[in-house]
């Protein structure tokens, strides 16, 4: 968890766009979903531009069931 947070908190100011590559991810639990929401808050909430890319079908299903398609661009 801390490693994920460190990756986006290193910059002094939030970036304009974030890309989260899930190519090696096979499953997302509630903790992972929470970390994505923390990234979204850090990036500006409703104005955040965050792309979640390379999701396998199981990961995409979890994101869809959780209504994350309304909060993130899932590709």
Mean pLDDT across the chain, nearest whole number? Answer: 93
First to last CA, the chain: 23
- Which residues span the domain enclosing 58? 2-74
Domain tally, the chain? 1
Which CATH number do you get for residue 67? Answer: 3.30.750.24
Per residue in 3-20, pLDDT (tens digit) is 898 888 887 676 789 999
User: C-alpha distances in angstroms, 70 versus 7, 31, 61?
Assistant: 24, 19, 14
Entry pTM: 0.89
């Amino acid at each position: 968890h801390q490693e994920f947070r460190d990756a986006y908190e290193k910059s002094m100011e939030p970036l304009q766009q974030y890309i989260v590559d899930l190519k090696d991810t096979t499953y997302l639990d509630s903790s992972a979903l929470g970390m994505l929401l923390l990234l979204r808050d850090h990036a500006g909430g409703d104005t955040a531009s965050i792309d979640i890319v390379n999701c396998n079908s199981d990961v995409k299903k979890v994101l869809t069931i959780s209504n994350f398609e309304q909060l993130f661009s899932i590709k």
